[in-house]
Amino acid sequence: MIIVTGAAGFVGANLVKGLNERGVTDILAVDNLTRADKFRNLADCDIADYQDKEDFLEALVGGDYDGEVEMVFHNGACSDTMGGDGRYMMDNNYRYSLTLLDWCQAEGVRLVYASSAAVYGAGPGFREDRACEAPLNVYGYSKFLMDQVVRRRWSDLRGQVVGLRYFNVYGPREAHKGRMASVAFHCFNQFRAEGRVKLFEGSGSYGPGEQMRDFVSVEDVVRVNLWLMDHPDVSGIFNLGTGRAQPFNDVACATVNALRAASGEPALSLTDLRGHGLLEYIPFHDGLKGKYQSYTQADLGRLRAAGYGAPFLTVEEGVARYVNWLLAHSA
């Protein structure tokens, strides 16, 4: 059996779908469906069973799954980077993950867990090195602490343990995230509703929409997870981005032009988007000041050295594919 936590969430649901496409259905899906509409992410997936995240942890510690599990993909977490309840964040993200790590080690079960590029804070370095890590919010700190535990135990670990530091992931099955959904998702909905998209004005040394992130398609995130499943000898803490920073303006252009292409209209340049009033810049959110990553770019050296050689989708490629998926799945 394979366990996927956060299975009704963004990355988790895409991973369950990816496992299904390989013919794997003996999956225990673990999540919290207090927000019931998340069930839609699993409606076209095949699983063996579902369990609430609190019931699951109690059953796990109680020995209910001893000897039955091949691998755990741990993607369950509170990902609200603006969340102010540090106690909940640490309990949900750090303590829960630590309990899973302890159980996997005791049982000799392989573990791939979601870390985050939020551990790096404002940068400027984005390589898996303690000198580069300075989280700006409690979410990033909760992920950072888990990585630190894994590092301290490194020489004593049994079997595969991998922490994946996700950069800015976008793609299908993220609608439930609301304001925490990707820039591409919001641009898609804004353009369809209002005929224009909105990005933040400049901040720091960056002009309007010129803040740069490493935007990675969830398709690539799933591919890396499944590659790790095929390579049980690979362990470590790895960045998972494209290795290529692109400005938010690129995401806006890619989204609008994919929608225009679907309507038979020609692509527009950034200058044209601005000139036609299709791109609007709004004031920077006060709650993000001092906690915002204006630039991220994954150093993929360790992942490539571990043997992962597949290319990553560019923003233009990945966003176009995502827009087509959204159009096909829009009510």
Cα-trace Rg, the chain: 20
Instruction: Quickly count: other Cβ atoms within 10 Å of residue 287's Cβ.
Output: 11
In the annotation, is 177 catalytic?
Answer: yes
Contacts of 78 (CB under 8 A, 6+ apart): 88, 89, 92, 93, 139
> Nearest-CA neighbor of 23 among 37, 2, 7?
2
**Catalytic residue (choose from 50, 88, 177, 206):** 177
Alpha carbon distance 267, 200 (integer Å): 23
Q: What is the helix (H) or strand (E) element at residue 279, kind and residue range?
A: strand 279-282
Q: Is the preceding peptide bond at 172 cis, omega within 30 degrees of 0?
A: no
Alpha carbon distance 192, 255 (integer Å): 11
Contact 3, 69 (CB under 8 A): yes
Instruction: Quickly count: other Cβ atoms within 10 Å of residue 150's Cβ.
Output: 22
**For 206, which DSSP code?**
B
Contact 170, 184 (CB under 8 A): yes
CA 53, 55, 60 angle in degrees (round to 5)? 90
In total, the chain counts a number of residues equal to 331
Alpha carbon distance 4, 27 (integer Å): 7
Q: Which amino acid is at 324?
A: N
Please give the structure tokens belonging to residue 42. Answer: 């699993």
**Catalytic residue (choose from 65, 139, 292, 322):** 139
CA 96, 99, 105 angle in degrees (round to 5)? 140
Distance of CA 47 to the CA centre of its chain: 21
The CA dihedral of 96, 97, 98, 100, to the nearest 10 degrees, is 90
Q: Which residues are catalytic?
A: 139, 177
